[in-house]
Structure 1
Amino acid sequence: MTEKSDTHPEKPQGPAHKRDLTRRKVVLATGAAVAAVGVGGAVAASASAEGTSAAGTDATASDASSDASSAESCYRLTGETTEGPYYIDADKIRKDITEDREGIPFTLRLKVIDSDTCKPLKRAAVDIWHCDALGIYSGYESMSGGGGGTPPTGTPPTDAPTGTPTGTPPSGGPGGPGGGGGHQEPTDDERYLRGTQLTDKHGYVEFKTVFPGWYQGRAVHIHTKVHVDGKLTDTGYEGGHACHTGQFFFAETAVLASADVTPYSTSTTTRTTLDEDTIYGGGGTQDGLLKLKYRKGHIEKGVIGSITMGVDPDETRDGT
């Protein structure tokens, strides 16, 4: 896909007071419904926290405060971020992107809504891509990971972070993949932990994958793009434009819990916390902080992450 970048990270508020009042009326009228239909608690205004498992087991509290009320956040734009150097066009339409990667089972439930109308966007193409448990990106195995593409081994991180923030987004290449920097051409044919799906009539998609690991210079994260106005072909999703480019983030409590589980526990790569990350905006769910659910003390059994993304389908935001 050939897209042009939008240099304005936020869409201006409504052009007139009348429009703003109209939007607020829509929100007030639909706020309860929006809260009710969120899959797995995936409402943009819900607290960005680890909740409870399906069995009701208590999990840890969030490391970040919740957003504003659902009435206010319904029409907020989800924060835009850089695409990063390791994006590959949507060429694998699939739900399960795990392939042969080891790690904690992770289910990602997403809802995409129009930030103006609060209505779900149907048949929008949602891409996600992320590194494996040891920081390796498919398609770029020789460039990613702990600094040179070789999975590191050794002592897991503690609650005292070993990563030191640089103050600027990390560039592509060894030591800082997936953050800033220009696009890099793939170095191999692997495509694990990458996939695309079309939203259903309610704006939902769900992916099966593994809990991401970490690498030098970045907190644990997942990349995403939302495309509209294209079409599904035999080779993937073609045409249209990206109306959102962002990243999803994970609370520190969940990352530390994952560090006790193999293969995450074998990594000696320096780790950057959420607060230190130079890409995460600090705005909770509006900046991509996932709501997480897992059994306390048994994260290895699996994690569910959910969030609602508010996007403007008329804008082009490709993150480059």
Structure 2
Amino acid sequence: MEAHDHGLSHDLRAMSRELVARRRALAFLASAGTVVAVSACGGGDESSDGTTTTTTTATPTPTPTSTSTSSSSSSSSGGSTSSSCVADPTETNGPYPADGTNSSSGSTSNVLITSGVVRSDIRSSFIGSTTTADGVELTIELQLVDVNNSCSAIEGAAIYIWHCDADGRYSLYSSGVTTESYLRGVQVTDSDGKVTFTTIYPACYSGRWPHIHFEIFLDGLTSASTGRTADLISQLAMPAATNTAVFTGDTRYTASIANYNAVSISSDNVFGDNTSAEIAQMTPTMSGSLSAGYSASALIGIEV
């Protein structure tokens, strides 16, 4: 029997089932349309041609912060610390120390036990005479540090310096200045391990690179009574550029020109066997001019 021959009741039931199926289909299509619409409103950026482009946002990588380390920082004792240092080599105190280790032709062979030697300005004599040494003014700051303790500053140490005048003569020893005591003095290091001296630029005499002598006494003035008790005896090598400027630019140093042209750091009988690191530290950093004078600074490293 054909399906359309089942009667009215059968047809009504079939029509009802078909209507329900159509409603379900419409409901499904409506639901699918909603999903499409939601997808089209997502987080992607739309390109100009209407297509949807998905953009991935990367998580920013934090920029590392740099920590700057100063060349000088506070030490545990409140003083400053140098960023790097080497131990200054022991050098000869030479024939003109006036530190009690030899004899001089002057009024004393040991200025360390003479009243007035502790001073910052060492240009004038302080024993009998008050003559002031003539020459280009030089202010020099020295900082004493402990190479065995991260280059930390050493406070309370005594530093004795001495050097020749503009004619290459040493007070208390050289002919013509045996009654003078200028260009010699002692200072005690402060909390930063520093001392400052005002003096004149040393000349260049035959056979030696221009230099300044110094002795270190870690126990301070109590032990600074003779060079025999010094914890370090060494020298500073004056910088080449300033040597040339002073010797060729100031007539008071004319005699130094020929002597200076005949010597070099490598041929010098004191500095010649030192390492490049030692020479770099032993050579003061310099600024200034002939007319205004020069300012210098140098680090002195010692093993405590």
- With normalisation by structure 2, the TM-score equals 0.60
Is residue 262 from structure 1 mapped to residue 251 from structure 2 by the alignment? yes
Runs of 4+ in 1 over 6 A off after TM superposition: none
Deviations 1:205-259 (A, max 9, x none): 0000001001110010000010122545xxx944793111110012222111101
1:227 aligns with 2:221: no
Check if 1:126 corresponds to 2:163.
Answer: no
Change (3 A) 1:263 1:305: same
Contact 2:239–2:283 (8 Å) recurs in 1: yes
Note closer, same or farther for the CA distance 1:285–1:193 as it changes in structure 2 (3 Å cut): farther
In terms of fraction of residues, the more helix-rich structure is: 2
Q: Which residue of 1 aligns with 2:180?
A: 190
Counterpart amino acid of residue 119 in structure 1: S
Deviation at 1:282, TM superposition (A): 4.7
Deviates more, 1:259-268 or 1:196-205: 259-268
CA contact (8 A) 1:44 1:309 kept: no
3-state DSSP class of the match of 1:300?
coil
Q: Does 1:309 align with 2:300?
A: yes
**Matching of residue 241 in structure 1 with residue 232 in structure 2:** no
| 1:286 aligns to 2:274 (yes or no) | no
Q: Measure the CA separation in 2 of the matches of 1:267 and 1:34.
A: 36
Give the unaligned 5+ runs of structure 1.
1-30, 38-42, 46-69, 143-148, 150-186, 314-320
Please give the residue correspondences for 1:13-92 in structure 2 after superposition, counting only pairs within 5 Å. 32-35=69-72, 70=83, 73-74=84-85, 76-89=86-99, 90=112, 91=114, 92=117
Match of 1:198, as an amino acid?
V
CA contact (8 A) 1:121 1:199 kept: yes
Q: Percent identity?
A: 30
| One-letter amino acid of the structure 2 residue matched with residue 257 of structure 1 | A
Does the CA contact (< 8 Å) of 2:123 and 2:198 recur in 1? Answer: yes
Matched, 1:250 2:238: yes
Paired residues of 1:285 and 1:307 also in contact (CA < 8 A): no
The secondary structure found in structure 2 opposite 1:219 is: coil
* Equivalent position amino acid for 1:104 in 2: V
Alpha carbons of structure 1 residues 285 and 308: separation in structure 2 relative to 1, 3 Å? farther
Distance 1:267 1:243, change over 3 A: closer
How far, CA to CA, are the matches of 1:35 and 1:97 in structure 2?
A: 28
Partner residue in 1 for 2:291: 300
SS of the counterpart of 1:32? coil
The one-letter code of the counterpart of 1:309 is: I
1:97 aligns with 2:85: no
Query: Could you tell me how far 1:270 is from its partner in structure 2?
Result: 2.7
Match of 2:47 in 1: none
Distance 2:81 2:179 in 1: 36
Deviations 1:28-55 (A, max 9, x none): xxx9344368xxxxx998xxxxxxxxxx
CA RMSD of aligned residues (A): 2.7
- CA separation in 1, counterparts of 2:274 and 2:291? 27
Residue 196 (structure 2) pairs with residue 206 (structure 1):
yes
Q: Which amino acid aligns with 1:131?
A: C
Structure 1 equivalent of residue 106 of structure 2: none
Greater Cα offset, 90-99 or 259-268 = 259-268
Kindly state the Cα deviation for residue 135 of structure 1 after the two structures are TM-superposed: 0.2
Instruction: Tell whether 2:267 aligns with 1:276.
Output: yes
Equivalent position of 2:205 in the other structure: 215
Report the CA distance shift for 1:258/1:128 in structure 2 as closer, same or farther (over 3 A): same
Deviations 1:87-125 (A, max 9, x none): 112241000001111111101100001111122111101
**Rg larger in 1 or in 2?**
2
Count of aligned positions: 202
Aligned AA (1:261): D
Between 1:271-280 and 1:221-230, the stretch displaced more is: 271-280
CA distance in 1, matches of 2:89, 2:81: 12
Q: Tell me which amino acid in the other structure corresponds to 2:134.
A: E
